[in-house]
Amino acid sequence: MKIGLLDIDGHNFPNLALMKISSYHKAKGDSVEWLNHFNHYDIVFKSKIFTYTQDNLFSIDSNVIMKGGTGYNPKTELPVYIDEYNCDYSLYPNLKHAYGFLTRGCVRACAWCIVPQKEGWIHKYWDIERILQGKKSAVLMDNNVLASPYGIEQIEKIGRLGVKVDFNQGLDARLIDLPMAKLLAKVKWLSPLRMSCDTDSMIPYLEQATAYLREEKCKPSNYFIYVLVKDIESAHERVTTLNSMGLDPFAQPFIDFSGKNNVTKEQKRFARWVNHKAIFRSVKWEDYK
């Protein structure tokens, strides 16, 4: 069979579902390629992660078209027999790092997050060595790895292996006490250590977590803090406080699950101000035009 793959969100970030589908079909002897609209296919797999990404509306010449991913339906998931396959990195030949999850799910129930609805309570998923597939570094997309005993065991293993990692969804500052800071100080960081500050209530947790991490000489390139932007006044107070603590805020305007809410011009303007560091460090928000 001839299989076509279509990543609706683009090729800027590896699509793990399509990588596993590719491995599965190649193991069956099928040919697999990124969709070429001039070719005919037996099956085309379309994957969309984000609800706000516009679908591909071009005509597709295929006997069967299968759509999956949170962007189409939060309840869709890969069949277990496909999910068990390793990722096919030949689809992204320029990738330097491995990508994957140690755990799935979360113990929190944040109103703006779809993970509890889609993945349920936090649970064991893959081992770091399986994710690496021989690579020396990994981008890990766990939603709350510190809430899982298995996740903590994996962090210990990461420290022993000496591989570099980036927990790119952020670590939960509420779970970083002194013993956890000691453990994280043994990790080699591929990128900044990331945490989040989605509400004002997170400020004291971030202050304490950062103090522990610095005390244990945890040395990522910096401490990068995601800041959810709904109310501008609240977000401004948070980014100002984080900056005074020597942390690096990154503003993310709120988009709901439906993808139908419009990010306001003011939210976009605020995010540009925060995320353009030369401007952020030299111009006050009230003076930013």
Give how far Cα 36 sits from Cα of 20, 27, 30, 47, 242, Å: 20, 22, 16, 15, 46
Q: Output 288 or 74, whichever has higher pLDDT.
A: 288
pTM above 0.85, yes or no: yes
* Selection from 80-84, 116-120, 260-264 with the highest mean pLDDT: 80-84
Q: Which two tokens stand for residue 208?
A: 């304490």
- Indicate the SS3 state at residue 253: strand
What per-residue confidence (pLDDT) applies to 116? 76
In one-letter notation, the amino acid at residue 152 is I
Q: What is the pLDDT of residues 239-280, one digit of tens each?
A: 999 999 999 999 999 987 666 667 899 999 999 999 999 999
Measured in whole angstroms, the distance separating CA 271 from the mean position of its chain's CA atoms is 19
What are the strands, taking DSSP E only, across 25-122?
31-34, 41-47, 62-68, 98-100, 103-104
Q: What is the pLDDT of residues 202-236, one digit of tens each?
A: 999 999 999 999 999 999 999 999 999 999 999 99
What per-residue confidence (pLDDT) applies to 289? 77
Q: Which two tokens stand for residue 164?
A: 């570099």
- Indicate the SS3 state at residue 142: coil
Is the CB of residue 169 less than 8 Å from the CB of residue 163?
A: no
pLDDT band at 75 (very low <50, low <70, confident <90, very high): confident
What per-residue confidence (pLDDT) applies to 256? 75
Q: How high does pLDDT run on average in the chain?
A: 94
Q: What is the DSSP string of 159-183?
A: HHHT-EEEETT-B-GGG--HHHHHH
pLDDT of residue 115 exceeding 90, the answer is no
Q: How many Cβ atoms sit within 10 Å of the Cβ of residue 211?
A: 14
What per-residue confidence (pLDDT) applies to 56? 85
Over residues 98-108, the mean pLDDT reads: 94
What counts of helices (H) and strands (E) characterise the chain?
Answer: 10, 13
What per-residue confidence (pLDDT) applies to 258? 65
pLDDT of residue 286 exceeding 80, the answer is yes
What per-residue confidence (pLDDT) applies to 142? 97
- Indicate the SS3 state at residue 39: coil
Sheet of 193-196, strand order: 193-196, 223-229, 248-253
What per-residue confidence (pLDDT) applies to 168? 96
What per-residue confidence (pLDDT) applies to 144? 96
Q: What is the pLDDT of residues 190-203, one digit of tens each?
A: 999 999 999 999 99
Q: What is the pLDDT of residues 121-177, one digit of tens each?
A: 899 999 999 999 999 999 999 999 999 999 999 999 999 999 999 999 999 999 999
What per-residue confidence (pLDDT) applies to 200? 96
